[in-house]
Chain A
Amino acid sequence: MIRRDDVSPSRKLSSAALTLFLVGLLTFVFRVLAQEQPTPSKAASNRSAPSPAAGASSQPIAFSHRIHAGTNAIPCQLCHTYARRGPVAGIPSVQRCVQCHQTVTPEEPEVVKLMAYWKDKKPIAWVRVHDLPDFVRFTHKPHVAAGVACQTCHGDVAKMEGAVQTESLSMGWCLNCHKERHAPTDCLVCHY
């Protein structure tokens, strides 16, 4: 039986509310126009050079890779434990950080922040730095198994404060490496 959904009664908007709403929109336009350059769309930022938003300052905690991976030479997979076991490398859990920092430099201001998260049992919402488009099915495990060094894609993290994207992570960039190493280059390896 044909049924068209009833047109739901629209909300009664008072004129004041509507005006406020439209003025809000206008303000927004001006704010956008005031920016000198339009911000690149998400997909574009993935393909182009390192994203500027990825510095340590934008992260909820100013975590330093330099101190951990550089000065203290902690192996990557001690914290990014899932890299050899699954598709994502995994950001360490709060628990993993606390295991060391209970005793190691608990007085550092950034570590105090960490301890606050732990006390509240709240997760840390890190800003994503390496983000592939949703139509790419990248998985870490085979890359780690094939002996590709973490630095190949993630740069010399040991010298960075916050992680930044150093490679373009574009399809051509992936393919160059796949070709060099005689890894499969069929579209269906990554796109499905």
Chain B
Amino acid sequence: MSLLDAGNNGPLVERVGRRTFLKLLGAAAPAVAASACSPIPPERIIPYVIPPEDEVPGVATWYATSCRECPAGCGMAVRTLDGRAVKVEGNRDHPVNQGRLCIRGQAALQGLYNPDRIRGARRREVMNAAAGQSRLTPVPWEDALAALTDRLRMARQDGRANRIVIVTPLLTASLDRLFDAWAKALGARRLRYEPFAYEAFRAASRICFGRDGVPHYELARADVLVSFGADFLETWLSTVEHSGGFAQARRLRDGRKSRFIHVEPRLSLTASNADEWLASRPGTEILVALAMVHVILAEGRSQTIPAAEVTTIRNLVAPFAPDAVAGRTGIPAQTITNLARLFSDPQAGPGRSLAIGGGVAASGSNATGTQVAVHLLNYVAGNVGTTAQFGPDASYGRASTYRDMADLVASMRAGEVEVLVTYEVNPVFTLPGALGFDAALGRVPFVASFSNALDETTARAHLVLPTHSPLESWGDVEPRAGVRGLMQPVMEPLFDSRHVGDMLLDVGRRLGGDVSAALPSGDFYKYLGSQWQALHSQAKSAASFDDFWAEALGRGGMWSAIAAEKVTLSAGIAASSFVTAELGGTAGAPVLMPYPSLHFYDGRGANRSWLQEIPDPVTKAAWSSWAEVHPDTAKALGAKDGLLVTVESDHGKLDVPLLVNAHLTPGVVAIPIGQGHREYGRYAAGRGVNPIVLIDPAPEALSGGARWLSVRVRVTPRALRRPVPRLQASEQQFDSGVAQVVSLADLNAGRLEAPEPHRSLYADHKHPAHRWGMAIDLDTCTGCNACVAACYAENNVPVVGAEAMYRNRTMAWLRIERFVEPSAEGSGTRFIPMLCQHCDHAPCETVCPVYATYHSDEGLNAQVYNRCVGTRYCGNNCPYRVRRFNWFEPDFPDPLHLQLNPDVTARSVGVMEKCTFCVQRIQAGKRQAKDENRPVKDGDVVPACAQTCPGQAIVFGDLNDPQSRVSQLGKEARGYHVFGELNTRPAIMYLKKIVSPPGAGTNRT
């Protein structure tokens, strides 16, 4: 409805009169123009009434806490300035992530500052009972908590307490205990729901070793790593920890490096980092694992296991000789045999390799069988107890299974659930559509949701109780046995929310009687303290509790090494049977692979603009959903890239653009999970599709897990082009030599071309004090995007949105480029972080008419925003395409603007910007050194990207200091400059990726 026909009484022009209207309109224009020039009111300084101790305005305070973006439980250090969190980094002392964070962890700030957070309690008010219309309306906290109390009391009074169900995510430590105590006091059922709960993994552990657990993996110790679909660089178990371990094993030492082979139908980010990617047919990974066991036993290469067990296992795998399975898996028998030999090298001894399984590829009807095969493979190679340790088990062992959720849906549908209490779970979105959670929710008379975002489940609730975000909350987490991380509020709550623990205790007290008596008194903070008092007495520490607590808070928690426990093979293993995955739908139709997204996990990250804006590392697509198919499949369908297709299974259907991807087994349709929200906020709602609606809701028989790989789908092209915005047009680098590789053999033999010496007509720059430089090791860069998110957070980089991305626009100062060049030399995928190269002979500097960009005497290519007039000559003359122009005034919707780093100028429209090597950190490092009256040390200055890199691929430092790590790396034979032939003399040295041909060993000497 436009302004001109507003109102109920006919068009406005008619009512006001045309001439009057035009007069008014004419008068309005200069008025608006004048108001734009009106004086800005004077700025106010509002000092504290009572200043906090130890707080200096403008000086950062760091708090240690724990990341809650996924159950991995990484340690976090949060930088706060003047009472607000501006940056999160990994906690260096934490045993899980050792100072690193992934892209989701970096974006945790956008959960805190989510502009669509619920502000204040809401209750559903019926607007029109006949039409079934109702809406959530604000209600005072007192009424909201009384409403929940009344409902719970009603249910309990009539002896129907078992009709109360509480669904939380996988919680650990104190909050988990409190929820348990609360549920027990009420007599309610409780579920710990995680969409990715590793049920098959745990079932396999039970079958093989009689132990319901997810072992701890030491990737750093594995010389040979074989993954059957486990996307450990994306979402599998503990990604930051595994990325770190993987990089450590991969790093070249004495001419040797580890070897990683990935078996999966799709070239995922993890597969892209493999030395060899074996594209299997979906659901057949189990056969590869069994054939490897077969070879190891047949060739007598098994290690440290008794003869009786050898016989048992040999009988089990007898039908799975490599020749017998090659045809079904699509992987040649010889490849499998070689892989098995590499995996069980008798010279290396036991426990030097590791097999892992998981991800969507290992989540079919045979998921448990696949995990059993992987366990057996580790067992025969002597890896159980070394690289795969039971003892420091991951907390996943305690999650509810998907079958528990399916049972809940059945009881909801049967009207057996009277009160459903959810806490930060979104089953409407994450459960398969055909399971009918959405419809069953309608049969529940009262749904209360503790949540700070209006997700699909919360939007259906009768009562919404907004919770503090993790960064505003007290708490603790226990991601694996022996590690207890603490959470502390890093700032005052932004909005009218409460701690969920406080609400539970409050409601408990309101219920009175036995419930109140069964629950602890006081608030959650007091309860947390009592839990830690118990830990204090266990620790038998000499320190007082107050000292113990203060020390633990400062450190971020407490941790101790847990020894690996010895496990033995269960006799029941002999009864195992192994089959390939069963897939519903028409035989021969494409198989659906819905895969968890690196950015959104199970969809919980979808309302974070950084995660939407940063392109997916493999497809380079952003702000959308897509269906990946092999070119042959696309041809068979008669569809081209960018065409909208209808994907339909027996359980649901959706329309999604096609994205042709050559790195996929033909006959597979891969769709990322995480988009397709109906609710959840401005960045998520109505964007993309949710492939979970397509899958078969029946759980996997043995483990009760969700079967992500369960259906064949009908793909019908539609006559509509809907291309997805993609930030990199081609995966070819056309001999440009941007991302270079060297073979391990050449490197060890010293067969490397020496770079051409630089010649120049210009005089060289002088760098009297420092010369800042960077080294980026392409061999340990996994392309995980964590650095990109860190850069957005640190440098106030604005988000441009989907529309602008269609025009190939982005403001990212740092991007990951991906090239695929399969060759005889080995792995084809190359990732290269591309950022301002801070050239000594910078092409951008010479063309700036106003000296806005120039070379500083510390080797930085400076960009002075207040001098820039926006000619964009510099951007056009930059061969690296790393300069970004502000075509529009950046927008940081309230309260996202509170995240802006006050140490970095927020740029405005018409200004060019680019990577500064985090000059604010350089200045801070220099100032600190000066305060301490010492020279700047190596490691004093760490840019945001280098700080968070899970693979530690980025090293920054002073090239004038010959002892600095960056200077040392610069001497490596692998070093090269991108476009060195242009003689730009970049300050960034890339180290070539080391590749080795398929079938190569670890080059063990």
The B847-874 residues at the A interface (CB cut-off 8 A) are: 854, 856-858, 860, 862, 864-867
Chain B residues bordering chain A, tally (CB within 8 A): 72
With both chains docked as a complex, state the minimum distance between the C-beta of A98 and any C-beta of chain B, in angstroms.
9
The yes or no answer to A125 lying at the interface (CB within 8 A) is yes
Q: Which residues of A contact B905 (CB under 8 A)?
A: 134-135, 137, 191-192
The yes or no answer to A116 lying at the interface (CB within 8 A) is no
With both chains docked as a complex, state the minimum distance between the C-beta of B358 and any C-beta of chain A, in angstroms.
29
Contact A91/B688 with A13-B3, A85-B59, A187-B854 known, Cβ cut-off 8 Å:
no
Q: Which residues of A contact B42 (CB under 8 A)?
A: 53, 58, 127-128
The yes or no answer to B35 lying at the interface (CB within 8 A) is yes
- The reply to whether B919 and A42 form a contact with Cβ atoms under 8 Å apart is no
- The reply to whether A127 and B31 form a contact with Cβ atoms under 8 Å apart is no
Binds A, one of B7-15, B598-606, B890-898, B951-959: B7-15
Which of these, B8, B28, B856, B927, contacts A22 with CB under 8 Å?
B28
The yes or no answer to A38 lying at the interface (CB within 8 A) is yes
The yes or no answer to A188 lying at the interface (CB within 8 A) is yes
The A1-24 residues at the B interface (CB cut-off 8 A) are: 1-4, 9-15, 18-19, 22
Contact A86/B865 with A1-B657, A13-B6, A93-B49 known, Cβ cut-off 8 Å:
no
The B12-47 residues at the A interface (CB cut-off 8 A) are: 12, 15-16, 24-25, 27-28, 30-32, 34-35, 37-40, 42-47
With both chains docked as a complex, state the minimum distance between the C-beta of A6 and any C-beta of chain B, in angstroms.
9
Q: Which residues of B contact A191 (CB under 8 A)?
A: 862, 864-867, 905
Q: Beta-carbon contacts of A180-192 to B below 8 Å, as 1s and 0s?
A: 0000001111011
Inter-chain CA distance A157–B547, complex, in Å, is 46
Q: Beta-carbon contacts of A23-39 to B below 8 Å, as 1s and 0s?
A: 00110110011000011
Inter-chain CA distance A180–B587, complex, in Å, is 84
The yes or no answer to B903 lying at the interface (CB within 8 A) is yes
Chain A residues bordering chain B, tally (CB within 8 A): 64
- The reply to whether A22 and B722 form a contact with Cβ atoms under 8 Å apart is no
Binds A, one of B50-58, B125-133, B984-992: B50-58
Inter-chain CA distance A1–B624, complex, in Å, is 6
Closest-by-CB residue of B relative to A4 is: B803
With both chains docked as a complex, state the minimum distance between the C-beta of B39 and any C-beta of chain A, in angstroms.
4
Q: Which residues of A contact B48 (CB under 8 A)?
A: 93-95, 123
Contact A1/B724 with A85-B56, A95-B51, A124-B47 known, Cβ cut-off 8 Å:
yes
The yes or no answer to B346 lying at the interface (CB within 8 A) is no
Which of these, A18, A32, A92, contacts B34 with CB under 8 Å?
A32
Contact A127/B44 with A26-B27, A95-B49 known, Cβ cut-off 8 Å:
yes
Inter-chain CA distance A41–B45, complex, in Å, is 19
- The reply to whether A123 and B624 form a contact with Cβ atoms under 8 Å apart is no
The yes or no answer to B560 lying at the interface (CB within 8 A) is no
Which of these, A94, A118, A127, A137, contacts B920 with CB under 8 Å?
A137
Inter-chain CA distance A176–B33, complex, in Å, is 38
The yes or no answer to A107 lying at the interface (CB within 8 A) is no
Contact A19/B24 with A1-B656, A82-B56 known, Cβ cut-off 8 Å:
yes
Closest-by-CB residue of B relative to A24 is: B31
Q: Which residues of B contact A188 (CB under 8 A)?
A: 856, 858, 860, 862, 864, 919, 923
Inter-chain CA distance A96–B50, complex, in Å, is 8
Inter-chain CA distance A122–B920, complex, in Å, is 34
Inter-chain CA distance A11–B6, complex, in Å, is 8
Q: Which residues of A contact B35 (CB under 8 A)?
A: 25, 28, 32
With both chains docked as a complex, state the minimum distance between the C-beta of B806 and any C-beta of chain A, in angstroms.
8
The yes or no answer to B414 lying at the interface (CB within 8 A) is no
Q: Which residues of B contact A19 (CB under 8 A)?
A: 16, 24
The yes or no answer to A88 lying at the interface (CB within 8 A) is yes
Q: Which residues of A contact B624 (CB under 8 A)?
A: 1
The yes or no answer to A159 lying at the interface (CB within 8 A) is no
Which of these, A29, A96, A135, contacts B866 with CB under 8 Å?
A135
Contact A10/B3 with A1-B657, A29-B31, A192-B919 known, Cβ cut-off 8 Å:
yes
- The reply to whether B656 and A32 form a contact with Cβ atoms under 8 Å apart is no
Q: Which residues of B contact A11 (CB under 8 A)?
A: 6
- The reply to whether B8 and A91 form a contact with Cβ atoms under 8 Å apart is no
The yes or no answer to B906 lying at the interface (CB within 8 A) is yes
Inter-chain CA distance A184–B754, complex, in Å, is 38
With both chains docked as a complex, state the minimum distance between the C-beta of A12 and any C-beta of chain B, in angstroms.
5
- The reply to whether A1 and B688 form a contact with Cβ atoms under 8 Å apart is yes
Which of these, B16, B39, B47, B865, contacts A93 with CB under 8 Å?
B47
- The reply to whether B2 and A10 form a contact with Cβ atoms under 8 Å apart is yes
Inter-chain CA distance A107–B848, complex, in Å, is 62
Which of these, A86, A94, A134, contacts B59 with CB under 8 Å?
A86
Q: Which residues of B contact A125 (CB under 8 A)?
A: 44-46
Inter-chain CA distance A13–B3, complex, in Å, is 8
Which of these, B3, B45, B930, contacts A142 with CB under 8 Å?
B930
With both chains docked as a complex, state the minimum distance between the C-beta of B3 and any C-beta of chain A, in angstroms.
6
The yes or no answer to A68 lying at the interface (CB within 8 A) is no
Contact A137/B903 with A10-B1, A19-B24, A93-B48 known, Cβ cut-off 8 Å:
yes
Inter-chain CA distance A128–B47, complex, in Å, is 11
Which of these, A1, A14, A92, contacts B625 with CB under 8 Å?
A1
The yes or no answer to B554 lying at the interface (CB within 8 A) is no
The yes or no answer to A179 lying at the interface (CB within 8 A) is no
Q: Beta-carbon contacts of A69-86 to B below 8 Å, as 1s and 0s?
A: 000000000000010011
Q: Which residues of A contact B655 (CB under 8 A)?
A: 1
Inter-chain CA distance A191–B907, complex, in Å, is 12
- The reply to whether B27 and A95 form a contact with Cβ atoms under 8 Å apart is no
- The reply to whether A15 and B12 form a contact with Cβ atoms under 8 Å apart is yes
With both chains docked as a complex, state the minimum distance between the C-beta of B647 and any C-beta of chain A, in angstroms.
13
- The reply to whether A123 and B46 form a contact with Cβ atoms under 8 Å apart is yes
Q: Beta-carbon contacts of A133-156 to B below 8 Å, as 1s and 0s?
A: 111010101100100000000000
With both chains docked as a complex, state the minimum distance between the C-beta of A86 and any C-beta of chain B, in angstroms.
4
Inter-chain CA distance A84–B6, complex, in Å, is 60
- The reply to whether B47 and A25 form a contact with Cβ atoms under 8 Å apart is no
Inter-chain CA distance A53–B44, complex, in Å, is 12
With both chains docked as a complex, state the minimum distance between the C-beta of A78 and any C-beta of chain B, in angstroms.
14
Closest-by-CB residue of B relative to A40 is: B39
Q: Which residues of A contact B45 (CB under 8 A)?
A: 91, 125-128
Q: Beta-carbon contacts of B898-931 to A below 8 Å, as 1s and 0s?
A: 0000011110000000001001100100010011
Closest-by-CB residue of A relative to B857 is: A186
The winner among B49, B854, B923 for most chain A CB atoms within 10 A is B49
Q: Which residues of A contact B919 (CB under 8 A)?
A: 188, 192
With both chains docked as a complex, state the minimum distance between the C-beta of B886 and any C-beta of chain A, in angstroms.
13
The yes or no answer to B572 lying at the interface (CB within 8 A) is no
The yes or no answer to A109 lying at the interface (CB within 8 A) is no
With both chains docked as a complex, state the minimum distance between the C-beta of B750 and any C-beta of chain A, in angstroms.
40
- The reply to whether A135 and B865 form a contact with Cβ atoms under 8 Å apart is yes
- The reply to whether B34 and A3 form a contact with Cβ atoms under 8 Å apart is no
Contact A128/B44 with A135-B866, A189-B923, A191-B865 known, Cβ cut-off 8 Å:
yes
Q: Which residues of B contact A15 (CB under 8 A)?
A: 7, 12, 15-16
Closest-by-CB residue of B relative to A21 is: B28
The yes or no answer to B802 lying at the interface (CB within 8 A) is yes
Other A-B pairs, 17, CB within 8 Å; known A12-B1, A82-B58: A1-B644, A1-B655, A3-B687, A9-B1, A10-B1, A10-B3, A13-B12, A22-B25, A29-B27, A42-B40, A85-B56, A91-B45, A93-B49, A121-B49, A127-B43, A187-B856, A188-B858
The chain A residues found within 8 Å of chain B, CB to CB, are 1-4, 9-15, 18-19, 22, 25-26, 28-29, 32-33, 38-42, 53, 58, 82, 85-88, 90-96, 117-118, 121-128, 131, 133-135, 137, 139, 141-142, 145, 186-189, 191-192
**A–B pairs, 6, beta carbons within 8 Å:** A1-B656, A10-B2, A22-B28, A22-B31, A91-B45, A123-B46
The chain B residues found within 8 Å of chain A, CB to CB, are 1-3, 6-8, 12, 15-16, 24-25, 27-28, 30-32, 34-35, 37-40, 42-51, 56-59, 624-625, 644, 655-657, 686-689, 722, 724, 802-803, 806, 854, 856-858, 860, 862, 864-867, 903-906, 916, 919-920, 923, 927, 930-931
Ranked 7 nearest A-B pairs via Cβ: A25-B31, A87-B58, A39-B39, A86-B56, A128-B43, A91-B47, A93-B48
